[in-house]
Structure 1
Amino acid sequence: MGEVTAPAPPAPIRVVLLSEVNSKFGAPFLAELLAHPDVEVAAVLTRPPGRLCSYYLGEPDPVDLAEQASSAGVRVLRPRSVNDPETVAALAELDPDYLLIANFQQILREPVLDVPRRAVVNFHPGPLPRYAGLAPFFWMARHGERDSGVTALITTPGIDDGPVLAQRPVPLDGTEDAGQIRDRLFSESRRLLREVIPRLVAGDLAAIPQDPEQRTYFSSPGPDDTSINWSWNAEEVLRVVRACHPQPGALIATDGTGLRVHEARALPREAAPGTAHSPGTVRSHPRHGLMIACADAWIQVLSLSWHPQGGSAPSSSGGVDDPDLSAGLVELLAAHTE
């Protein structure tokens, strides 16, 4: 009987990762791809020097994908536009099996989409077809979302509308802030990548078209979306605060003062002042500090900052549980809430 020869293991797939240079979504993806034995990272494509994603500005522990890739001996491409003919040519020379997208904020057009031998795969930290577009964490917190998820999809010329390759459901309790939702969905997206890689290696690109009837799309929030209306009930007010946490904070007023609430909670009825007050009334309490009335409860402001008009740095920031400090803020706030 002749010897039985075991089949040769599949050759590693060649991938190019597209991500923002300071992306905390893209950095763990790159680490995962570099460590996988069935993946060869042919290049990382990111933004030109000086172009940073605003999502992560001012956060501790910044990341740099260009440095991360270069340290691993991976080529780094930093074009002005991913759709420029010279960029398309450079990607084609790399002969990738896949382009993988993890938080890259340029829309890929058809010449780029045609570059890889197999597909362009986008990892979206949201439960498509719901929460397509930018800032899904903000909008999930703003809506008190409980039924979330993360998605890998085949990229098409539209925005987040390609067929779904794989998903992971992510239940929420509806009280998480945007930062907590982001951390959770980033972690689940990394798990989804681990599940998808074997399918990419096998060339299994079976995908399910999205139901357009279920699609919801959200753009970046504007001042109206991040502003508190004290005539709302407590849950509506707290959803805005949670959606804007940790940055930039929920606006108390849109008149240029830059007054922002970063953390707050609804006080129980027994802790509220004994007499009724109209929404927007500001009080300093000896035990609860700074309090503002909304439609159905008093909101205790736990963390506040404000920026002088035209200024870039906050003139004050932090906790306001000190009665002396909160008392000093009452006059300032009253002019912008009542």
Structure 2
Amino acid sequence: MRVIFMGTPAFAVPSLERVVKDGHRVAAVVTRPDRPAGRGQALASSPVKTAATRAGLSILQPAGLKDPATHAALAALSPDAILVVAFGHILPPPLLSLPRHGCVNVHASLLPRYRGAAPIAWALIRGERVTGISIIHMTERVDAGPILLQRAEPIRDEDTAGTLGERLAPLGAEVLSEALLALGRGEARPIPQDEAQATTAPKLTAADQRLDWSEPAAALRNRVRGLTPEPGALT
């Protein structure tokens, strides 16, 4: 399958590596522009760019996805599918309708629960015992598209957002591999999400980082777990 891969953080790297290992033709990797980092504020590549460079893949770093020139450049690649893993941008309708197999997203929760930017953190903050990976066909409504495949992952008592993410990243790669195989064979059977079960996992704010000492000890512990290693809890 000829694909475009979109992703940015370390969470997305196992998925990119698995796509390459499985023999899919990666027409381009789209990731965020380099950013200043550290004390010296030197420009730093995203983890996905580093992995793509190592694999010898073509890399695009647009500031956003609304520019018609970006749309034209991606359309010229004639992808069978666009794969999106922790990319950080909402795909506009022209891109959603571009590939014949659609745009496929790896989401770190058991959708429709925990739709949004921070599903790992919120699952821990809210004391969940199980989470997982969902592979969905993307639609204009964020994280609301039909489910291609899901896999559950238990949450351990000692888990933080960091340790849970380290397990979900390779799991996401594995489940994505299975979903792409089914798509390529024409065997995928997307299942609509149950809107009655939907919950949200919005981007964390400074208010979310604050510890409220009037809360029970278990709730405080869960919040710290969900905020570790970053952005961290505040008192």
TM-score, scaled relative to structure 1: 0.64
Pairing of 1:303-314 with structure 2 (within 5 A): none
> CA offset at residue 139 of structure 1?
0.7
Whole-angstrom distance in 2 between the partners of 1:220 and 1:26: 18
Which among 89, 94, 99 is matched to residue 72 of structure 2? 89
Matched, 1:99 2:82: yes
Aligned residues of 1:149 and 1:185 also touching (Cα < 8 A): yes
RMSD value, Cα? 1.9
Give ranges in structure 2 of 5+ residues lacking alignment.
Answer: 38-44
- Provide the identity percentage: 36
For the structure 1 residues 131 and 234, does the alpha-carbon distance in structure 2 shift closer, same or farther, using more than 3 Å as the test? same
Residue in structure 1 matched with residue 40 of structure 2 by the alignment: none
Aligned residues of 1:27 and 1:63 also touching (Cα < 8 A): no
Which among 10, 18, 28 is matched to residue 14 of structure 2? 28
Q: What is the number of residues matched between the two proteins? A: 228
Matched, 1:80 2:72: no
Residue in structure 1 matched with residue 173 of structure 2 by the alignment: 190
Aligned-partner residue type, residue 84 of structure 2 = I
Residue in structure 1 matched with residue 28 of structure 2 by the alignment: 43
Q: What whole-Å deviation, never above 9, does each CA across 1:163-189 have from its counterpart, x for those lacking one?
A: 001000112245522212211221221
Pairing of 1:1-338 with structure 2 (within 5 A): 13-20=1-8, 23-37=9-23, 39-50=24-35, 64-252=47-235
TM-score, scaled relative to structure 2: 0.90
Q: What whole-Å deviation, never above 9, does each CA across 1:53-93 have from its counterpart, x for those lacking one?
A: xxxxxxxxx96322432343321111122232111111111
Whole-angstrom distance in 2 between the partners of 1:248 and 1:69: 26
Give ranges in structure 1 of 5+ residues lacking alignment.
Answer: 1-12, 53-61, 253-338
Aligned residues of 2:22 and 2:177 also touching (Cα < 8 A): no
- Return the index of the structure with the highest Cα Rg: 1
Q: What whole-Å deviation, never above 9, does each CA across 1:277-328 have from its counterpart, x for those lacking one?
A: xxxxxxxxxxxxxxxxxxxxxxxxxxxxxxxxxxxxxxxxxxxxxxxxxxxx
Deviates more, 1:95-104 or 1:132-141: 132-141
Aligned residues of 1:141 and 1:181 also touching (Cα < 8 A): no
Per the alignment, in what secondary structure is the counterpart of residue 225 of structure 1?
helix
Higher helix residue share: 2
For the structure 1 residues 194 and 51, does the alpha-carbon distance in structure 2 shift closer, same or farther, using more than 3 Å as the test? farther
Aligned residues of 2:12 and 2:169 also touching (Cα < 8 A): no
Aligned-partner residue type, residue 13 of structure 2 = A
Per the alignment, in what secondary structure is the counterpart of residue 27 of structure 2?
strand
For the structure 1 residues 249 and 29, does the alpha-carbon distance in structure 2 shift closer, same or farther, using more than 3 Å as the test? same
For the structure 1 residues 75 and 212, does the alpha-carbon distance in structure 2 shift closer, same or farther, using more than 3 Å as the test? same
For the structure 1 residues 68 and 217, does the alpha-carbon distance in structure 2 shift closer, same or farther, using more than 3 Å as the test? same
Per the alignment, in what secondary structure is the counterpart of residue 132 of structure 1?
coil
